[in-house]
Structure 1
Amino acid sequence: MYRERRAPLVPGAVLWSTGPAAEAVHKRVLPDGCSDLIWCDGLLVAGPDSRAQLSTTRPGAAYDAIRLPPGAGSAVFGVPAAELRDQRVPLEALWDGATVRSLAERMAEAPDRGAVLAEVVRERLAGAAGSAPGVGPDAERLRRLVLARARAGSPVAATARAAGLGERQLHRRCLALFGYGAKQLAGILRLQRALELVAAGVPAAEAAVRSGYADQPHLAREVRRLAGVPLSRLR
């Protein structure tokens, strides 16, 4: 069974877990701008996705993880987010080996593995002091600004002006922070909004307009492009 809860003291982060799988489970993971630190008999980083990823859970596997909000992963993992885009890598490839081994020991013994992950992420974010690789000391301010404007559907040029940056400079910083540019981030978040409405029972045509698409065919094209399957199959 899949469960979610808010991560304590990590704004915007979500703890999620699954019980042991009785059999192999195949699922389609849709892009949402987030990155994850995952425990399953070892520590794994899932970078921000630009397209749907197909995942298989082996029988008996159970997961505990923390999903970081868009733009937070670079500060936590210590590398520009673009290096992790569409990637699944062992944490030891990014952090010092002794640090990873110590965390793995804590996770193996912890009664609440999610709480351990939240504590580690909080410490990493505090140590980053608002900076992120390739972004600079204003990383958190820029992350909040770009994310808010992407959710509002703001044009990239307007977002760049609000940030006091040129469009090319904004693009470079967004690559380091989010793993892709502001326009692509906005498209991914728009798709998520539309799918949430459809899942809540809103007709696709209405969900398309309310999410900022020109019409239902526009939504259908974006679903195929980002999810790899028709909207009817995602339903």
Structure 2
Amino acid sequence: MPTDYAERASRLPGAVLWTKGASPAGGGAGDGGSDGGADGLVLPDGCMDLLWSEGRLLVAGPDTRAFRPGPGLRGPWTGIRFRPGAGPLLLGVPAYELRDRRVELADLRPAAEVRRLTGRIDAAADPAVALEELALHLAAAARPEDPLVRAVAGALAAGRSVAATAEAVGLGARQLHRRSLAAFGYGPKTLARILRLQRALGLARAGVPLAETAARTGYADQAHLSRDVRELAGARVTELL
């Protein structure tokens, strides 16, 4: 993880507030919480982020592949990463519409409102706290989170199969796929694969040998883990570690 990156649990349940960059209110360039450590590479994690840099508010949609920020997204930034399935409720847009995209918040909400919110955060003594307050405000105005969506995300994050997850929540395959597209930005198989990658990287970063990591997270073997990392992250697992 880059040395200029920091995060903490947000007051918004399940969310993470993070900063990345030279200033205390810096942030990554998409969703810093899943930075793989490979030169600013941002890995898919099933989440959406609300991002701020001076004069800008953006939304990072759910990624299906690693994202490497371009010159216009170098930061510093701060962001709040919503747990899987929560972002669409707060932002009022289905997750699949933002898949693999970074968009201005003004493209999703009235421009005058976004200018006012951006100015308020720009002027705050601690922009990260001000961004968190904005997220809390959006959450208070949003409709309640669907317990079924939480159950799907929790089951897949724990390593349950898509079939077992569908049975547990009482949905057919097509219904589960449709609900997952709106909530997570992609189908349950893709989400399960992404969450498995994150579990594996967590174990490997904690010092668990790669062969054991692969076995504990449901890969056929270490080679399978390595292939999945390369396909999703565009880098070798050793580079990410």
State the TM-score, normalizing by the size of structure 2. 0.86
Unpaired segments ≥5 residues, structure 2: 24-37
Q: Does 1:116 align with 2:130?
A: yes
Say if 1:26 and 1:155 are closer, same or farther in 2 by CA, change over 3 A. Answer: closer
Q: Which residue pairs with 2:184 in the alignment?
A: 178
Q: 1:33 aligns with which of 46, 58, 65?
A: 46
Residues 113-160 of structure 1 show CA distances to partners (whole Å, capped at 9, x for unaligned) of 222222222222222222xxxxxxxx5202211011101222222222
Q: Which residue pairs with 1:225 in the alignment?
A: 231
Q: Does 1:103 align with 2:109?
A: no
Distance 1:156 1:204 in 2: 24
Residue 55 of structure 1 deviates from its aligned partner by: 1.5
Q: Does 1:82 align with 2:90?
A: no
Distance 1:80 1:193 in 2: 26
Residue 57 of structure 1 deviates from its aligned partner by: 5.7
Residue 206 of structure 1 deviates from its aligned partner by: 0.8
Say if 1:158 and 1:26 are closer, same or farther in 2 by CA, change over 3 A. Answer: closer
Instruction: Give the residue type in structure 2 aligned to 1:86.
Output: D
Unpaired segments ≥5 residues, structure 1: 131-138
Is the Cα–Cα contact under 8 Å of residues 82 and 176 in structure 1 kept in the other structure? yes
Secondary structure of 1:145's aligned partner: helix
Is the Cα–Cα contact under 8 Å of residues 35 and 45 in structure 1 kept in the other structure? yes
Distance 1:183 1:211 in 2: 15
Name which of structure 1's ranges 156-165 and 51-60 shifts more when overlaid on structure 2. 51-60
Instruction: Give the residue type in structure 2 aligned to 1:16.
Output: W
Instruction: Give the residue type in structure 1 aligned to 2:138.
Output: R
Q: 1:202 aligns with which of 208, 232, 237?
A: 208
Residue 58 of structure 1 deviates from its aligned partner by: 6.5
Q: Which residue pairs with 1:136 in the alignment?
A: none
State the TM-score, normalizing by the size of structure 1. 0.88
Distance 2:120 2:235 in 1: 40
Matched length: 223
CA RMSD of aligned residues (A): 1.9
Distance 1:197 1:164 in 2: 31
Say if 1:92 and 1:126 are closer, same or farther in 2 by CA, change over 3 A. Answer: same
Say if 1:108 and 1:27 are closer, same or farther in 2 by CA, change over 3 A. Answer: same
Amino-acid identity (%): 52
Is the Cα–Cα contact under 8 Å of residues 48 and 82 in structure 2 kept in the other structure? yes
Is the Cα–Cα contact under 8 Å of residues 44 and 66 in structure 2 kept in the other structure? yes
Secondary structure of 1:55's aligned partner: coil
Say if 1:218 and 1:122 are closer, same or farther in 2 by CA, change over 3 A. Answer: same
Name which of structure 1's ranges 150-159 and 92-101 shifts more when overlaid on structure 2. 150-159
Q: Which residue pairs with 1:16 in the alignment?
A: 18
Distance 1:60 1:27 in 2: 9
